[in-house]
Amino acid sequence: MHWVVDGMNVIGSRPDGWWRDRAAARRRLVSDLAAWAGPDTEVTVVFDGRPGPDEVEDAASRGVTARFAPGGPNAADHAIVELLGTLGDGVGITVVTSDSALADSARRAGVAIEGAKTFRAKLPDGDEAATPAGADPWAGPPGGPRRGPRARRPPPRW
């Protein structure tokens, strides 16, 4: 079985503050993928952007193929479609993504699709236990300002 993972879709499927340190989020995902993959499982994760120092080599040492797609929005999606063209007839391949255009392209290539959030739940760190019960995953650092799209602002003083 070969899993082709849209890395930023899986990372972004849980608002755990990943945007503060994208390289660390990528390393955590690679670690989770390596722990999840079995002996008959091949995992390729594709990220948007450029790799950090030794990021590709570190992933390979864990048994995960990491690819990077510099080039702006949807670069990883395009790289995944290109990769699928090199993998044969699609039998035994699953693409993990939440992007509908990529999912449609992958289906046309004959591969199975799994949603990023569903897949994330399968990973060792993929359960919601990573955010303590009752904690707000959108909260900023203790004592600091709230961050993210749900940040509360004080009411205006008229």
pLDDT tens digit sequence for 107-140 = 999 999 999 999 999 998 644 444 333 445 455 5
Q: DSSP states of 101-155 as a string? A: HHHHHHHHTT-EEE-HHHHHTTSTT-SGGGS-TT--TT--STTS---STT---PP
Q: Could you tell me the pTM of the whole model? A: 0.77
| Ordered domains of the chain (ranges, CATH) | 2-130 (3.40.50)
Q: What is the mean pLDDT of residues 72-96?
A: 92
The length of the chain in residues reads: 158
**Residue 140 carries which side chain, given as an amino acid letter?**
G
